[in-house]
Amino acid sequence: MNQGYKKYIPFNPVKLPDRKWPNVVVKKAPIWCSVDLRDGNQALIDPMNLEEKLMFFKMLIEVGFKEIEVGFPSASETEYEILRTLIDRNLIPDDVTIQVLVQAREHLIRKTFEAIKGAKNVIVHFYNSTSTLQRKVVFKKDMDGIIDIAVQGARLIKQLTDEIAGDDINIRYEYSPESFSGTEMDNAVEICARVMEELGATKENKIILNLPSTVQLSTPNCFADQVEYFCRNLPNREAAIISVHPHNDRGTGIADAELAMMAGAERVEGTLFGNGERTGNVDIVALGLNLYTQGVDPELDFSDINHLKEIYENCTKMKIPERQPYVGELVFTAFSGSHQDAINKGVQYMHDTDSPYWEVPYLPIDPSDVGRQYEPIIRINSQSGKGGAAFIMQQNFGYNLPKAMHPEFGRVVKAEADRLGTELTAQNIFDLFSREFIYKRDPFTLKKHKIEEAGVNGNSVTRFDGSVFNGKEEVPIYGEGNGPIDAFFNALHHIGVENYQFVSYHEHAIGKGSHAKAVAYIELKAPDGKNYFGVGIHDNINIASIKGVISAINRAIDAMKK
């Protein structure tokens, strides 16, 4: 490749020094048109069969599309079949307009008009290629010859429309100067203006002028300049709806569409999840949810995005990548420790402040808004930090670990992830937590317990009477103190367990109603000067606390042996 780049001709941008679009803020969703059943379907290795197309069409209706391009009925029998099935079975809602595509060629236009008989609302979308390269290489015509093709096509379409004027059908027009982004802008303006004149477009009866980035040739800002230039210079601008149809050859289809809307485009043609020829069409799901994150109603319903993904994958046999915006399996997942910590703090902030706004770092959208679950937001591997495991324990299992405990538990989890060399599941993490903090029974295990409160000389005294197994035998213990934990500490002193200092205590309930249990987190300073946490669970909070003390002591003894 060290010399190959020299054979490519750089894109020649339109001159627009006083461009306005960079200062525009999009505050309203565009008119959306799905081309999944045409542009998307033609790009599949195995095109959808009739039943799959019908299933997909139904899904598009449920999402909220009001304009759906259903095919190229003059191109093949399968394309004709889906259109006739939708019409004959009365499957098209009255508020939905179907769109049919046709080249600006007489016999194809006539067949298209035969195919749409019986439909209520139809957009007849005709096109011919206008780019400099196609004129030179494919058609070997000058611009006047290309304009004549479009005008003749428009004239025939208007004639056929007039012939069925008495039928109960509402026909609208759409024209695309195919490969618009590779066409000289003055030529694009002229051919569209001539088509508008031929069709008699007015402010009350607008034509859709669709400007395709059929093959991406430039950076998105250059495409936006082209759209703004076109809108500025088009005669009778108020008689047209400006539409764009970006492809994704340079990987910037979404940016092309967003900047084009800033530049004056009022309508966007695209597909769910960006399916289409070569690198695909613009992804309408990503476009719509990008608007959503800016407080703009996309006017499409993506509240069950996994359902859309399932139908899409079943019908197209295409696999949505794990990193696909908003829908990929991993897009709401953080493995990095710093990311996990920030997400954990953001979720806690939302809970503590009851904020009406979504303010969670690293998550531009609330996963629940699109029907995603919180469980996979944080996933644990060797790169994860102290907050990630705590987040999983809280979100998945209801354990609200004290912040001071996060580093200690994080080290336990990280060591296990390093040992296994793979990701840990939520259940793996819970099992680690249980084994390390709840069921740490060596050397001490509580065997018997009795806690009583009594008044002595006007003061309240708590008495602990019970026994523990010390790894060799069960030994009785007895102690008094100003509370259950103090009494238990004093009881342990009698069997030589000394020099532990109480540091902190946290508790909460887990579960609800009669099945609720108390969880106690106990932090002790051990004889080695280090702090250790233990966790106890029991129906009785006093016993949970005592079990937490034993857990912390057992963990300290185990650590001091190593």
pLDDT tens, residue by residue, 385-418? 667 888 889 888 999 999 899 999 989 998 998 8
Nearest C-alpha neighbor of 146 from the set 129, 158, 126, 127: 129
More confident residue, 422 or 161: 161
Q: Which of 29-43, 93-107, 437-451, 456-470 has the weakest average pLDDT?
A: 456-470
Residue 445, SS3 per DSSP: strand
Q: For residues 370 and 247, what is the distance between their CA atoms, to the nearest angstrom?
A: 25
User: Once rounded to an integer, what is the mean pLDDT over residues 428-450?
Assistant: 92
Count of H helices and E strands in the chain?
A: 17, 14
- Among 287, 316, 345, identify where a domain stops: 316
The predicted model scores a pTM of: 0.78
Residue 533 pLDDT exceeds 90: yes
Where a domain ends, among 391, 426, 461? 426
In a domain, residue 2? The reply is: no
* pLDDT above 70 for 460: yes
- Looking at the fold, whether 459 and 518 belong to one and the same domain comes out as yes
Within this chain, do residues 483 and 416 fall inside the same structural domain, yes or no? no
* Confidence grade of residue 382 (pLDDT, cut at 50, 70, 90): low
Q: Which residue has the higher pLDDT, 375 or 557?
A: 557
Q: At what angle do helices 106-115 and 77-88 cross, to 10 degrees?
A: 30
More confident of the two residues 335 and 458:
335
pLDDT at 421 over 90: no
Do 123 and 197 sit in the same domain of this protein? yes
Report the pLDDT value the prediction gives residue 375, as an integer from 0 to 100.
58
Instruction: Specify if 7 maps to a domain.
Output: no
Lowest mean pLDDT among 125-129, 276-280, 338-342, 349-353: 338-342
> Do 525 and 503 meet the contact criterion of CB atoms below 8 Å apart?
yes
Query: 34: which strand partners?
Result: 68, 270
> If you average pLDDT over each of 137-146, 298-307, 493-502, which comes out highest?
298-307
pLDDT at 149 over 70: yes
Whether 436 shows a pLDDT value over 90: the answer reads yes
The pLDDT of 117-135, averaged and rounded, is 92
**What is the pLDDT at residue 440?**
86
Can you name the residues that pair with 469 across neighbouring β-strands? 445, 474
- For the cut 70, the answer to whether the pLDDT of residue 490 exceeds it is yes
- Same structural domain for residues 73 and 189? yes
- In angstroms, the first-to-last Cα distance of the chain is 58
Q: Within this chain, do residues 546 and 449 fall inside the same structural domain, yes or no? A: yes
- Taking residues 146-160, report their average pLDDT: 96
Q: Is the pLDDT of residue 340 over 90?
A: no
The reply to whether 132 falls in a domain is yes
**Least confident range of 90-94, 293-297, 401-405:** 401-405
**pLDDT at position 374:** 66
Instruction: Give the model's pLDDT for residue 558.
Output: 92
67: Cα within 13 Å, side-chain hemisphere: 21
Question: Which residues make Cβ contacts (< 8 Å) with residue 377, sequence separation at least 6?
Answer: 332, 333, 334, 343, 363, 367, 391, 395
Q: What is the number of structural domains in the chain?
A: 3
Which domain does 469 fall in, by range? 445-561
Query: Has residue 324 been placed in a domain?
Result: no
Tell me the average pLDDT across 78-92. 95
User: Does residue 457 lie within any of the structural domains?
Assistant: yes
Q: Does residue 329 lie in a domain region?
A: no
Is there a domain that residue 440 lies in? no
Residues 32 and 75 in one domain: yes
Decide which of 426, 457, 486 is a domain's last residue: 426
Q: Are residues 234 and 124 in the same domain?
A: yes
Across 13-17, 515-519, 525-529, least confident range = 515-519
Largest CA distance in the chain: 112
> 356 and 286: one domain?
no
Per-residue confidence band for 456, with pLDDT thresholds at 50, 70 and 90: low
In a domain, 508, yes or no: yes
pLDDT band, very low/low/confident/very high, at 151 (cuts 50, 70, 90): very high
Res 1 pLDDT > 90: no
Instruction: Give the percent of the chain with pLDDT over 90.
Output: 77
Residues 172 and 207 in one domain: yes
DSSP assigned state of 542: H
Check residue 385 and give its pLDDT.
65
pLDDT at 373 exceeding the cut of 80: no
**Range picked from 370-374, 384-388, 533-537 for highest mean pLDDT:** 533-537
Averaged pLDDT, 26-54: 96
pLDDT tens sequence across 209-262? 999 999 999 999 999 999 999 999 999 999 999 999 999 999 999 999 999 999
Check whether residue 421 and residue 477 sit in a common domain: no
Q: What share of the chain is helix, strand, coil (3-state, %, to 5)?
A: 45, 20, 35
CA distances from 414 to 111, 393, 399, 403 (A): 67, 15, 19, 17
- For the chain, give the mean pLDDT: 93
- Please report, for the domain that includes residue 230, its CATH number: 3.20.20.70
67 and 145, same domain (yes or no): yes
CATH of the domain at 468: 3.30.160.270
pLDDT reported for residue 556 = 95
Pairwise pLDDT comparison (263 vs 373), residue with the higher score: 263
